[in-house]
Structure 1
Amino acid sequence: MDKFLKNPWAVKVVALLFAFLLYFAVHSAQVPTPKKPMDWLFPISTTDEVTLTDIPVKSYYDDENYVVTGVPQSVNVTIKGPTGTVKKVRQVKDFEIYADMQHLKTGRHKVELKARNVTEGVSISINPSVATVTIEEKITKEFPVEVEFYNKNKMKEGFTPEQPIINPRNVSVTGSKTVIDRIENIKAMVNLEGVDQTIEKETKLTVYDGDGNVLPLGVAPSVVKITVPVTSPSKKVPIKLERKGKLPSGISISSLDTSPGEVTVYGPKNVLDSLEFIDGAKIDLSKIKDNTELEVDVPVPKGAHKVSPEKVKVKVKVDKEEENTIKNVAIKTVGLNDTRTLEFLDPKTGNLDITAKGSAAELAKLQSSDIELYVNVADLNDGVHRVNLEVNGPQNITWSLPKNVKVRISSKTSQKESDTDDQDDTDQDHSDTDSQSS
């Protein structure tokens, strides 16, 4: 042994062995533990393996003329190779999994899924590696759009949806003939909860088959504009024109024609039931000098929602004003109950001559039965009163008559007592006369 150690070459060999041992002791902390007993003496490159899930599959085919079904949306991919390279591929995923069907025609085919742009030094296996695909001719067909209402029972009370307006009315669907033949309808859904006026909205379309299942098909356009007119209870009523101002001297209205003659009022049923006509549509007589046509606003009655139309046209015809006297028109009494009586004091006859002014045509049609003179005594007590005269007659006639008349109102009870007192006085007079005669 001493001889061996004294040999310079032996010492050098031992020193070299110790140097190797020290180097591998330090280096072993940086590399995976060798799988074989002697690997630490002769290190080799390490490999790794990893499986990536949900890797998308790209399809290549003539998508202008064909539709392909059966290609999986994603697959699992196993990568093998040097640890560092596998780690990089796992992070960037810069490869592509694809199905090439560009050379295939219509029908059913088995297609191998392939990988490309794979980093050198790694291998890739695909699961599943084969797909059974169906290639069909692509067709485009037009379908009408249907509107379906929901929550109709939750509309505001009394309101009803009318026929919807759809723009565009028809849409195009593209797909395989097999799927297109399954289409039953294309619908736009409209929510009516709380609705009390016309709806305008853009709505997405959904394609359904005969069983009510949604078909995943593209629609062009995918959104349509829907207008749903909403109406409430309505009633047609005439318009009563209210005249203000005074016509210029010497002319009279011969006719007033309203177009349309009736308007539609929308509102709650209880309001419509009590409505007989629309009042308050005004025309200014002071601005009428000749035949003319006016546009008049139609007021919305109290409690109603709206009127249609909101304006009406009034055609006014004028003529030279003339006069005609109607004699002995009886004055009627309004508001006198059965317990009272009325006596006319001025005029005592209860009749009046009144002057009607209007066009020759209107006066020619005027009858005494067309005229109603009356006094309203509903709020008057017993006694003598001056009561305003009121007149009802054709609209295009104006009247010249006294402003009021003089009447006496009496209760029937007091009238009977007065008659009794008069009778007693008469009997007493007769008795005195008889006594004197005897």
Structure 2
Amino acid sequence: MKKLGSSKIINIIFSLLMAILLAAYVLSIKNYSNSTNSNSYSSLIPEKKATITVPLTFQYNSDDYVIVGAASTVSVNVQGSSALVTAAKNHNDIAASADLRGLGAGQHTVNVALSGVNSSLSANASPQTVTVTLAEKSSAKKNVKVQYDDSKIATGYSVTDETSDVNSVTVSGPKTNVDAVSYVGADVDLDKNTKSNVSEAAKLTAYDKDGNAVQVTLSQTKANVKLTLTKAQSSKKVQLAAQASSGSLSAYDISFDPSTVTIYGSSDTLNSIDTLPVNLDLSNITSKTTKSITLDKPSGVDQLSDQKVSVTITPKSTNSSSSASSSSASSSSSSN
């Protein structure tokens, strides 16, 4: 009986071991089959690599600081299925950012974080860290100055008036840059040989005292500017010349105050004029007379420096009589 019982126990143990071994074998075969199928499936999907350039944004205390000398983009290397990589390149939903919150003024090296990457893709930023300088933020109000290249204005023309709808702007940025700004220029882009009035939206740029551009942020980037152009006038000083409308010039001594006037007009017109004639009525003048005469503007002359002059007319007979009287008086005095 003991031998029979012992035999049954041995058979049970043997059967249990065989069952365990058989289960392990089946499980390993199943895992191998799944692994093979998975690898076969993966091998059927082509993979692709690509590099995408994405904008780099910064998180920082923009009320107190500005960023100096930081990169604006980073490269992102992606790898995965061809379809997903192509979609990532076309839609470019990937974004890169660097967190500087809680950091103060100075230079900092921070990690680049990626977002918007499909979970089935592998991706890494290049570079994975960036060096950024935080500078103390400053701001100031600066005057706007209209400026243009006057060599592009046609010969014979000049700007007689200039207006801008923006007279001042606020510049902000690193304190050293803001302190360097002398003015903000409204730069008007002129065509060569400009003759007519100009009206355009001029770009605003901050400049230092030497006229070099300064990198700052402006509260406005453009100003509406108008330039008024007029044909420039030449000028010439000429002598006044008496001209008798009646009577004889030879019978009078004539003087003008002022004796010259300045005439304005085109250079061609002025070149043809050497004196300015003044018409005088010399009839019935028997003694020294002073008159105020209105000058006539010659044809082609746009303007005169003086509209009226004073003229003194002295009959020569009066001068002769005065001289003779003086001579007689002198002779009488000598004989006495």
Contact persistence 2:50–2:85 (CA under 8 A): no
Please list, as runs of the form range in 1=range in 2, the aligned pairs for 1:356-375 lying within 5 A after superposition: none
> CA RMSD for the aligned pairs?
4.4
CA drift of 1:125 comes to 0.8
Contact persistence 2:152–2:193 (CA under 8 A): no
CA-to-partner distance for each residue in 1:374-394, whole Å, 9 max, x for gaps? xxxxxxxxxxxxxxxxxxxxx
Q: 2:194 & 2:158 partners in 1: Cα distance?
A: 9
- The alpha-carbon distance between structure 1 residues 222 and 94, as it changes in their structure 2 partners (threshold 3 A), is closer
Contact persistence 1:278–1:301 (CA under 8 A): no
Q: Secondary structure at the match of 1:43?
A: helix
CA drift of 1:276 comes to 4.1
Q: 1:40 & 1:124 partners in 2: Cα distance?
A: 27
Q: 2:199 & 2:298 partners in 1: Cα distance?
A: 27
Please list, as runs of the form range in 1=range in 2, the aligned pairs for 1:100-119 lying within 5 A after superposition: 100-119=99-118
Residue among 162, 176, 179 paired with 1:178: 176
The one-letter amino acid paired with 1:179 is N
Q: Secondary structure at the match of 1:138?
A: strand
The one-letter amino acid paired with 1:175 is G
Structure 2 unaligned blocks of 5 or more: 1-34, 239-260, 280-295, 308-314, 316-336
State the identity as a percent.
24
Matched, 1:233 2:234: yes
CA drift of 1:229 comes to 6.0
CA drift of 1:108 comes to 1.8
The one-letter amino acid paired with 1:172 is T
Q: 1:140 & 1:160 partners in 2: Cα distance?
A: 36
CA drift of 1:133 comes to 0.7
- The alpha-carbon distance between structure 1 residues 235 and 164, as it changes in their structure 2 partners (threshold 3 A), is farther
Q: 2:39 & 2:58 partners in 1: Cα distance?
A: 47
- The alpha-carbon distance between structure 1 residues 223 and 79, as it changes in their structure 2 partners (threshold 3 A), is closer
- The alpha-carbon distance between structure 1 residues 85 and 53, as it changes in their structure 2 partners (threshold 3 A), is closer
Structure with greater helix percent: 2
2:56 corresponds to which residue?
57
Contact persistence 2:159–2:227 (CA under 8 A): no
TM-score under structure 2 length normalisation = 0.53
CA-to-partner distance for each residue in 1:319-344, whole Å, 9 max, x for gaps? xxxxxxxxxxxxxxxxxxxxxxxxxx
Matched, 1:96 2:117: no
Q: 1:222 & 1:179 partners in 2: Cα distance?
A: 17
The one-letter amino acid paired with 1:267 is G
Residue among 289, 298, 303 paired with 2:300: 303
Contact persistence 1:78–1:125 (CA under 8 A): yes
- The alpha-carbon distance between structure 1 residues 269 and 67, as it changes in their structure 2 partners (threshold 3 A), is same
Q: 1:170 & 1:274 partners in 2: Cα distance?
A: 49
Residue among 166, 169, 181 paired with 1:168: 166
Structure 1 unaligned blocks of 5 or more: 1-37, 238-262, 280-298, 313-368, 370-438
Contact persistence 1:52–1:77 (CA under 8 A): yes
- The alpha-carbon distance between structure 1 residues 117 and 165, as it changes in their structure 2 partners (threshold 3 A), is closer
The one-letter amino acid paired with 2:233 is S
1:219 corresponds to which residue?
218
CA drift of 1:167 comes to 4.6
The one-letter amino acid paired with 2:53 is D
Contact persistence 2:49–2:80 (CA under 8 A): no
2:143 corresponds to which residue?
144
Matched length: 230
1:126 corresponds to which residue?
125
1:6 corresponds to which residue?
none
- The alpha-carbon distance between structure 1 residues 173 and 264, as it changes in their structure 2 partners (threshold 3 A), is farther
2:265 corresponds to which residue?
267
CA drift of 1:130 comes to 0.6
Bigger relative CO (Cα 8 Å, ≥ 6 apart): 2
1:208 corresponds to which residue?
207
The structure number with the bigger radius of gyration is: 1
- The alpha-carbon distance between structure 1 residues 233 and 223, as it changes in their structure 2 partners (threshold 3 A), is farther
Q: 1:94 & 1:153 partners in 2: Cα distance?
A: 47
Q: 2:37 & 2:86 partners in 1: Cα distance?
A: 24
Q: Secondary structure at the match of 1:121?
A: coil
Contact persistence 2:152–2:194 (CA under 8 A): no
Q: 2:153 & 2:38 partners in 1: Cα distance?
A: 85
- The alpha-carbon distance between structure 1 residues 197 and 115, as it changes in their structure 2 partners (threshold 3 A), is closer
CA-to-partner distance for each residue in 1:206-260, whole Å, 9 max, x for gaps? 33346754344343433332445654225799xxxxxxxxxxxxxxxxxxxxxxx
CA-to-partner distance for each residue in 1:80-108, whole Å, 9 max, x for gaps? 33454444334332222111223333222
Contact persistence 1:109–1:134 (CA under 8 A): yes
2:76 corresponds to which residue?
77
Please list, as runs of the form range in 1=range in 2, the aligned pairs for 1:317-356 lying within 5 A after superposition: none
Q: Secondary structure at the match of 1:181?
A: helix
Contact persistence 2:141–2:168 (CA under 8 A): yes
Q: 1:200 & 1:277 partners in 2: Cα distance?
A: 43
Contact persistence 1:71–1:99 (CA under 8 A): no
The one-letter amino acid paired with 1:181 is D
Q: Secondary structure at the match of 2:79?
A: strand
The one-letter amino acid paired with 1:171 is V
Please list, as runs of the form range in 1=range in 2, the aligned pairs for 1:400-415 lying within 5 A after superposition: none
CA drift of 1:127 comes to 0.4
